[in-house]
Amino acid sequence: MAWDKLKIGEAQLEKNGPLLWIVGPCVLQDMDLTLVIAEKARLLAERFQCPMIFKASFDKANRSSGSAFRGPGLEKGLRMLETVRQKTGLPVTTDVHETHQATAAGQVLDLIQIPAFLARQTDLVLAAAATGKALNIKKGQFMAPWDMKNVVNKVRPVSSAPLLLTERGTTFGYNNLVSDLRSIPLMGALDCPVIFDATHSVQMPGGGGDRTSGDRRMVPVLARAAVAAGCEGVFVETHPRPDESPSDGPNMVPLDRLEDLMRCCCRFRETFLSDPGPELA
């Protein structure tokens, strides 16, 4: 049976309804900064009448350099995310990287996210599914969209909770990604809402030598294209001062520009819903 409506915490996602937004900083830093970003996200969700989930990582386990900042860790990070939900009412999500993290994460999060690097890690996917919480699994940079069928088939026998799939770019030679927007309808055919990760898609992995580079100028370009291709939601990392962020600064959206991006994408969504275009098959 095709999905029609999904509820993740207090966020209601409807097929062909308002865009779902997954928004937050790349990595948790301090509580004050986290709440500033979360409160701005909440206000924008109200302004544009769209569902919103707050995202931030407690551990950036896949850094280019072993000396890079990773975050506050599992226990403190989950407490910070719990505070965000208590203060703002927003559902919360974060990545899990190891099977032992899934149970603790499931006790706090509304949505558990599987990073793209780990989309094929069967034990991790099953541990996250076994929590009974909604999952967002990012398509690996090394995977074809149709290969995500195997990932979906791992989850379905274990959990009936909402399952989202996220497109975040495909490896295109060294230190570069390309977004194949055919992934959106192809993964959508797996009966899952498809989210477009607009900020990780503009990464240049390892492009800074000991750090990841990126080009945030391309975020609105790709986000608009993905909405026009029919994605059900947009994932955006944001920070008041991206160039001072300890992780993924070059591809993050400045917090004071998030409203413009959301306004534009919401208008594209309205246009798409009023005229989604012809089907040629």
Q: What is the pLDDT along the chain (281 residues), one digit of tens a residue?
A: 589 999 999 999 999 999 999 999 999 999 999 999 999 999 999 999 999 999 999 998 776 667 668 889 999 999 999 999 999 999 999 999 999 999 999 999 999 999 999 999 999 999 999 999 999 999 999 999 999 999 999 999 999 999 999 999 999 999 999 999 999 999 999 999 999 999 999 999 887 777 778 999 999 999 999 999 999 999 999 999 999 999 889 999 999 999 999 999 999 999 999 998 888 76
Query: Would residue 163 count as lying in a domain?
Result: yes
Query: Would residue 280 count as lying in a domain?
Result: no
- Can you give the pTM of this predicted structure? 0.96
Amino acid letter at 9? Answer: G
Query: Would residue 45 count as lying in a domain?
Result: yes
Q: What is the pLDDT of residue 67?
A: 67
Query: Would residue 281 count as lying in a domain?
Result: no
Kindly give the pairing relationship between strand 170-171 and strand 163-167.
unpaired
Q: Bridge-partner residues for 53, per DSSP?
A: 22
| CATH code, domain with 263 | 3.20.20.70
Query: Would residue 279 count as lying in a domain?
Result: no
CB 179 within 8 A of CB 222: yes
Domain boundaries, position 68: 5-273
Query: Would residue 232 count as lying in a domain?
Result: yes
Q: Bridge-partner residues for 163, per DSSP?
A: 135
Calculate the dihedral angle through the C-alpha atoms of 204, 209, 210, 212, rounding to the nearest 10 degrees: -10
Coil vs helix vs strand at 269: helix
Query: Would residue 219 count as lying in a domain?
Result: yes
Query: Would residue 32 count as lying in a domain?
Result: yes
Closest by alpha carbon to 105, among 143, 63, 64, 59? 59
Q: What is the pLDDT of residue 63?
A: 64
Q: How many domains does the chain have?
A: 1
